[in-house]
């Protein structure tokens, strides 16, 4: 789909139309009910037997109907399932240099409660000149037109794409992107917690690295300095505005490796900080792969944003401040948020957050409006690995 186009009508074949009509009919009849005979369906829909068989094969493959020899065509329990579209910016997978995004997708797809929902995975492509995907993937547009999308979890998508989904009456949960009901991680608060502990231990200075953009860099510096450390060095590039080609030619993972090599010269000079904050897990993954073998690795404390599920810390001997996001838990929260919107029909997103909070009492959440959107921040705590 053209990255600059939000919607595009897809060409629907006759069997596609029949399949959609049959599914609507099946939903209206309900699970366990019998559809009209093949001859009656052909007459009612004014189609040939070949077209009907083509349409029914697709519904059978999805488990919506089953044909019982000598008895008829029956609606299965799967007709009651809600359909969640998981839509991700393909750049996150193709150029991230870290398995974290693949882990999130894998966890989400495996955790879908198959007795209530079925998940579909869709990949969106950002414009080459940079930014987030604006257009919806063609196969997703097609699924929406067929009435096969009841809710969506979008990852790294532009606000216009989210608005188009909502215009189609698809409730949306957004992560690492814009619009809809936005779920965020409190990385800044975790950094602030670690900075306060380091300051209490007598540490004075910090360097901040691995921020994906200048705004995030500024917020990171502010959070760390408010907690008592002086930020004496910053290392960041505007990664967020880079297009797919540029991201693939030099992934953020490689920037972390490059910085680790550069940091070896810094720690040998007068500008060595007491603490180094690594604010992105992909960047941290690249940095740690190089830094674990550095000669001077024990001369500075690290505050690292990453995930233990990545096993990034195996063999690490020094004390490590961890701004940890639990991939499995995050994936479950995103699924549950989508299900709240589809099943609970909360009157607003504040109420939806309260329902979600009750489902996850072990996690603190805070919601507040941001323009026309609602942002729910998941408040994980930072901790230390020794």
pLDDT of residue 92: 77
Identify the DSSP state of 63.
T
The token duo for 208 is 């901040």
DSSP state letters, 282-330: HHHHHHHHHHTT-TTGGGSEEEEEE-GGGTTTTT--S-EEEEE--HHHH
Identify the DSSP state of 108.
H
pLDDT of residue 140: 92
pLDDT of residue 8: 44
pLDDT of residue 77: 83
* Residues 263/231, Cβ–Cβ less than 8 Å: no
Q: Taking Cα atoms as reference points, which of 142, 170, 165 lies closest to residue 19?
A: 142
Q: Which residues pair with 302 in a beta bridge?
A: 276, 320
Give the H/E segment covering residue 247. helix 244-249
pLDDT of residue 251: 76
The token duo for 172 is 């949306």
In the chain the domains, ranked by start, together with CATH numbers, are 14-79 (1.10.10.10), 82-185+328-379 (3.40.50.2300), 187-306 (3.40.50.2300)
* Residues 376/356, Cβ–Cβ less than 8 Å: yes
pLDDT of residue 373: 82
Per-residue pLDDT in tens (0 to 9) along the chain, 386 residues: 333 334 444 456 788 788 878 888 888 888 889 999 999 999 998 999 999 999 888 888 878 889 888 888 998 888 778 889 999 988 777 655 567 788 899 999 999 998 888 899 999 987 655 567 888 998 899 888 777 899 999 998 888 899 999 898 899 999 977 877 999 999 999 999 999 999 999 999 999 999 888 888 999 999 999 999 999 998 876 666 666 666 666 777 888 889 999 999 999 999 999 999 999 888 888 898 899 888 888 899 999 998 877 776 766 666 889 998 889 999 999 999 999 998 876 677 888 888 999 999 999 888 888 887 889 999 888 988 86
pLDDT of residue 357: 92
pLDDT of residue 288: 87
């Amino acid at each position: 789909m053209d990255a600059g186009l939000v919607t595009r009508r897809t060409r629907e074949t006759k069997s596609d139309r029949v399949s959609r009509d049959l599914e609507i009919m099946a939903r209206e009849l309900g699970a366990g009910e019998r559809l009209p005979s093949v001859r009656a369906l052909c007459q009612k829909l004014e189609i040939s037997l070949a077209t009907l068989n083509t349409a029914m094969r697709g519904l059978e493959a999805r488990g919506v109907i089953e044909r019982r020899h000598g008895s008829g065509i029956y609606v299965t329990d799967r007709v009651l399932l809600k359909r969640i579209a998981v839509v991700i910016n393909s750049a996150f997978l193709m150029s991230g240099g870290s398995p974290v995004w693949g882990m999130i997708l894998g966890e989400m797809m495996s955790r879908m409660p198959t007795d209530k929902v079925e998940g579909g995975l869709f990949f969106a492509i950002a414009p080459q000149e940079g930014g987030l995907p604006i257009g919806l993937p063609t196969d997703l547009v097609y699924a929406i037109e067929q009435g096969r999308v009841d809710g969506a979890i979008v990852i790294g998508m532009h606000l216009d794409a989210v608005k188009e989904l909502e215009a189609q009456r698809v409730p949306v949960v957004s992560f690492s992107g814009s619009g809809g009901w936005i779920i965020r991680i409190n990385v800044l608060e975790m950094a602030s917690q670690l900075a306060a502990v380091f300051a209490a231990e007598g540490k004075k200075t910090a360097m901040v690295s691995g921020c994906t953009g200048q705004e995030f860099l500024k917020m990171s510096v502010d959070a760390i300095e408010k907690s008592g450390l002086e930020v004496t060095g910053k290392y960041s590039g505007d990664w967020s505005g880079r297009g797919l080609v540029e991201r693939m030619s030099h992934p953020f993972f490689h920037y972390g490796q490059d910085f680790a090599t550069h940091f070896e010269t810094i720690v040998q000079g007068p500008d060595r900080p007491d603490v180094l904050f690594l604010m992105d897990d992909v960047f941290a993954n690249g940095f740690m792969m190089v830094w674990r073998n550095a000669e001077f690795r024990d001369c500075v404390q690290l505050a690292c944003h990453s995930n233990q599920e990545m096993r990034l810390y195996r063999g690490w001997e020094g004390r490590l401040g961890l701004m940890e996001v639990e991939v499995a838990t995050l994936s479950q929260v995103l699924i549950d948020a989508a299900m709240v919107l589809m099943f609970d029909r909360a009157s607003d997103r504040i109420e939806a957050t309260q329902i979600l909070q009750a489902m996850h009492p072990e996690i603190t959440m805070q919601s507040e409006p941001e323009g026309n959107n609602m942002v729910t921040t998941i408040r994980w705590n930072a901790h230390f690995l020794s």
